[in-house]
Structures are given as structure tokens and as C-alpha cells.
Amino acid sequence: MKVEGRALRVGVALLVMGGLVLPIIAGMAQTGRAAFGVLPAIGATEPSLEPWRQLFSLPGFGTSLRLTLVTGIGSTLLALALASGFCALMHGRMSHASMGRLLAPFLAVPHAALAIGLAFLLAPSGWIARMISPWATGWDRPPDLATVHDGWGLALIVGLLIKEVPFLLLVIGSALGQLPVRQHLAAGRALGYGRGVVWIKVIMPQVYPLIRLPIFIVLAFALSVVDMAIILGPSNPPTLAVAIIRWFSAPDTTLILPASAAAFLQALLVAGAIVAWIGAERGAKRIGLWWLRRGGRGHRSEPGLWATSSVVSVLMLLGVMALAALVVWSFAWRWSYPQALPQSWSLKGWMTPGSGWGRALEATLIIGVSTTAMSLLLAIAWLEGEDRGRRGRAAWAQALIYLPLLVPQVGFLLGLNVLFLQIGISGGMVAVIWAQMLFVFPYVMIALSDPWRALDPHHIRAAAALGASPWRRLVAVKLPMLIRPLATAAAIGFAVSVAQYLPTLFMGAGRIATLTTEAVTLASGSDRRVVGVYAVLQAALPFLAYGAALALPALVYRNRRGLLGVGHEP
């Protein structure tokens, strides 16, 4: 069995390397070649620094770079501070399960749908302005204010925080479950320290190493996000990732080389930000040791905890209102400013699926189900290979899983698109599904690996003692016992697939229209009703997937109880 497990593990590792890791490496290599002037498809055959000179001379490049750093690093720092403060105040007052249920809608909704709803909310003619006008503002027409697409990227930072804070709250909550937090708090309070100081001096230094990698994932995402930046961020000039998409899609093919240089720079930017973050950790450690030796009870930290918790509550309220705004606009017909609610409602936007959202919904479902199914099968094969080989996850395997989440999409998708064009598969479903698996598989593995390893091995040994083969033990014992984690991992993978924008845009070559690509494209238009329909559908699919993940285990276990006679009178 050990030899069979080793063979299975090697086979799956080779499949992951060839199908998921090598495309990323090859895409980065192709982007790097084009960044230095080599792209035979447009006649560039000699290495050169000219693409970089062109990039630095492009109008707005410096501003795009500044916006990327401000919004990316700023939102990550704020999200970490807010999540830490909220957990410090609410720990012991709210269970981890309750927090998970509270945060589920924010984690499930795709970034683009949330951004569209937030734009409906914050725009000068948005829902907030309508609810406080004219009685509080005196506005009888939309004010001339840049509340969305503002030059500093504040709306984008708010949108990123609504997505990042719940994720970090969940991660911190999971890490706290591994520590004796109650005992630390009790000991610190007995010594006269304030709750906030105990949290910062004692608990967070233990929590931080456990959440370090998720923080890097948040940082990499915030620095390279595209769909939210298109909808909420500055438009002229935009953030660097959005500018790269514009340059690459421009009719002028001479911009492809500087766009490749910018994509390569985007990857270097993320790597540099992570290195700088690690350097800042060392500085923070020295300051923290000095502060610990200095002492101080720190009762004044309590108002800060309440302030951060209030900001988190406001962000969650904005997120709920953003989702509600999507639904309202999808059914609105006549809604003149400054009315707080539509004067008339209509189902017209929902009544023409054949000419719009129907085809996008079909493509989204096909891609999502296919990508999730293949990612789930690959994850099961990977974990089963570990079990049969009687070896845990190696460090290199951890790196393989997290690599697609740390490398900015635009950094390698440009080059990967060129390779797919050369192979002849670009512009089809196969290319889109393959590209999306690069990002779906890591999330499926992360969701499934811990429950899989926590499975009681006595059940497997009992099945083996009864003569069950390894494959029968997998199918008849492991998978039925893991039906809930499997369903949850599938729901997470499906939600990630639905939210994918760049892989679908590039690999589909504009021929594969999904709800996400259509919603982002239509978000810049004027008909909010049509955009609302697409965004509601895009947001609804992950919720349906999570609902199915909750219902399926209950249905399966109920049938099993019925077969065993459990719950029936003798």
C-alpha cells in the first residue's frame, strides 16, 4: 500500500506541476521575455530595454504606481488593524461559529458584485445620497462630488476593506482557537493590564505567525486587483493593474511590450511589498520588545477597541446595503432622484434571458461546475496519496498550493495568453477552465486538507481489518464521512470560479462571456437596472452553492439514518 501511495502521490504531484505550476512559470517567463523586447508575434525579436523606457514615459504611469501602493498596502494595514481590534473586543462575547455565520455573506459574494453594489450605494446619485436628500442635504439633484472613482482611491479602499476584514476575522478566529486566550486575558487582567494591552502584548504575537501567509495573500490581492479597481477605483489614470489591461487591449500593438513590462513590474511590486512587510516585522518586533520592557497598564486602549469595532460594524452595514442595492436596482423601473425608493417596479430586466444574461449564466455554470469538479478530484487524489504514502504535506507542496495566490494574476496571465494562442486553445472553454483551475484548486485544497487530516484513522483501520481494499475504503468510508467538508470545499471552489475575471477575459479572448465579465463591462454603462440583474445573478450563485453544501450532508445523513433504522421505534 505504501508503494501504491507513493506512486499516486508522485502522479498527482506531476499533474499539479504540469497543469498548474508550470503554466504560471511559463506565463511569467513569457511576460518577462516580452518585457525585455522579445515577442516574435509582433516582430520584436531582439532583447531591449525600450519597453521599459516606453512604460516610464506613458502618461499617468507614476500616478498609477502611487495609487496601487496606497490602495494595496493601505487597505491591508487597515484591514489587519480593524480585524485585530474587533477580535480583541468581541472574543468571548461571540463564538467562532456565530462569527462564521455572520461573515459568510461577505466571503461568498464575488468582488465585482460587491463593488457594483457599493458603487450604487456611494455614487453621488446613489442610495445613501437619496436617503438623506433633500431633507438633510438640500440636494434636489446629484451633487458634484467624486465619491466613486475618486483620485485617491478611497472608494476602492472601502470596497477592499469590506472583503478583506471578514476574511482576516475568520482567519484570526481560527488561529485563536489554537491558543489559551481566556487564560491569557484572565492573567493579564489580574495583573492590572487593560484588555487591549493584553491582546497586543501577549495574544497577537502568538496569533500573527499563524495568520502571516493569509496576510500576504491579502496584500498580493490588494496590490493587483482588477475588477474592483475598474468599478470603484480612479479611472484616469487608474491603478497599475487596470492600466495594464487597457494597454494590452489597446488597438495599438506597440503598447503590448510596455504592457508586458508593467505586468512584470506588477509581479516585482508584489514581491517587493512582501519583502518590505517582512522587514517591517523585524522593526515592529524591536519596538514591541522595547514596549514590553517599558511596562504600562494601558487602560486607555479600550476606546480604541470600541472605535475599531464600530468601523468594522459600519463596513458590514455598507456591505449589506450594497447587496440590497443590487436587488433593488434589478427590479427598479422608474427611480428619479432624490426618491429613496423606486416609484415603479418591473421584471423587464429578468424577462429576456435569451438576449443577455441567460447565455452568460450558462457559461458561468459550465465553467464553474467543471472547474470545481476537477479541482475537487485532484485535491482528493493528492490527500489520498499522502495517506497511502503515510507522509504529511511537505514544505514544497505548501508552496505549490499557495503560489497562484501570491503571484499577481496580471503578471503571468498576459504571457500565458500568448502561449495558449501559440498552442491554439485560446478563446475556448478549455482554456478558460484550465486558467481558472490555477486559482480554484488552491482554495479547494485549503478548505479540504485540515478536515481530511482530522479524520479519525480508527474507522479506516476497521475497514481494512474487514478486508476492504484501499479504493473501497476511500469510496465507502472516507468520502461519506467527509461529505460536509467536501461539499464546503466544492462550494468555495465554485464561488472562486464565479468571481474570476482576468482568467476568463484573457483566455476567453472576449468570446466567453460570463456573469462576471459582463457585469464588470456593463458597470461603466448608464443602465443600472441591467447591471443590477447581472450582479444579482453573480452574487446569488455562490449563495446557492453554499446552501447546497449545507443541505447535501443533512440529506445524505438523514437517508443513512433511515437505512440503519435510527430514530424508528422497535
Q: Are residues 385 and 299 in the same domain?
A: no
Report the pLDDT value the prediction gives residue 526, as an integer from 0 to 100.
Answer: 64
Q: Which domain holds residue 465?
A: 1-44+351-570
The burial class, CB within 10 Å (0-12 / 13-18 / 19+), for 70 is: middle
Residue 126 lies in a domain: yes
pLDDT tens digit sequence for 206-234: 999 999 999 999 999 999 999 999 999 99
The three grid cell numbers given for residue 515, joined into one nine-digit string: 456573469
Residue 43 has pLDDT above 70, yes or no: yes
When pLDDT is averaged across residues 25-35 and rounded to a whole number, the result is: 91
* Top-confidence residue, 510 or 147: 147
Residue 53 lies in a domain: no
Residue 427 has pLDDT above 90, yes or no: no
Q: Are residues 397 and 308 in the same domain?
A: no
Residue 565 has pLDDT above 50, yes or no: no
CB count within 10 Å of CB 494 equals 29
Residue 567 has pLDDT above 60, yes or no: no
Q: Are residues 279 and 178 in the same domain?
A: yes
pLDDT tens digit sequence for 266-281: 999 999 999 999 999 9
Residue 326 has pLDDT above 60, yes or no: yes
Residue 51 lies in a domain: no
Residue 54 lies in a domain: no
Q: Are residues 397 and 410 in the same domain?
A: yes
Q: Are residues 551 and 410 in the same domain?
A: yes
Q: Are residues 283 and 409 in the same domain?
A: no
Last residue of a domain, one of 346, 367, 392: 346
pLDDT tens digit sequence for 340-383: 899 999 888 888 776 578 899 999 999 999 999 999 999 998 88
pLDDT band at 570 (very low <50, low <70, confident <90, very high): very low
Q: Specify which of 167-176, 182-191, 525-534 reaches the highest per-range mean pLDDT.
A: 167-176
Residue 377 lies in a domain: yes
Q: Are residues 336 and 363 in the same domain?
A: no
Residue 382 lies in a domain: yes
Q: How far is CA 127 from CA 143, 200, 215, 556, in A?
A: 13, 38, 33, 43
Q: Are residues 117 and 236 in the same domain?
A: yes
Helices 357-389 and 483-499 pack at an angle, to 10 degrees, of 140
**CA pair distance 569, 560, nearest whole angstrom:** 16
Domains: count for the chain? 2
**CA pair distance 107, 103, nearest whole angstrom:** 6
Q: Are residues 211 and 355 in the same domain?
A: no
Residue 566 lies in a domain: yes
Q: Specify which of 92-106, 379-393, 538-552 reaches the highest per-range mean pLDDT.
A: 538-552
Q: Are residues 388 and 300 in the same domain?
A: no
pTM of the predicted structure, to 2 decimals: 0.91
Last residue of a domain, one of 346, 375, 399: 346
**CA pair distance 504, 431, nearest whole angstrom:** 9
Residue 259 lies in a domain: yes
Query: What CATH number should be reported for the domain holding residue 536?
Result: 1.10.3720.10
Report the pLDDT value the prediction gives residue 4, as an integer from 0 to 100.
Answer: 60
Q: Are residues 241 and 95 in the same domain?
A: yes
Last residue of a domain, one of 346, 378, 406: 346
Q: Are residues 326 and 187 in the same domain?
A: yes
pLDDT tens digit sequence for 62-95: 999 999 999 999 999 999 999 999 988 887 777 7
